Amino acid sequence: MAKVALVVLILGIIGMLLGGGVFLVSVLLPLLTDGRTSWEEAMLGIIPGALVLVLSFVVAVVGLVMMIMKKRANKAQTPV
Task: Kindly report, residue by residue over 17-58, the tens digit of the pLDDT.
Answer: 999 999 999 999 999 998 899 999 999 999 999 999 999 999
pLDDT of residue 12: 96
Domain ranges of the chain: 2-74
Nearest residue to 53 (alpha-carbon basis) of 25, 28, 21? 21
pLDDT of residue 74: 84
Helix (H) or strand (E) holding 49: helix 39-77
Say yes or no to pLDDT of 7 above 90. Answer: yes
pLDDT of residue 52: 97
What residue type is assigned to position 36 of the chain? Answer: R
pLDDT of residue 60: 96
Nearest residue to 3 (alpha-carbon basis) of 66, 55, 47? 66
Higher pLDDT, 55 or 76: 55
**1: confidence class by pLDDT, cuts 50, 70, 90:** low
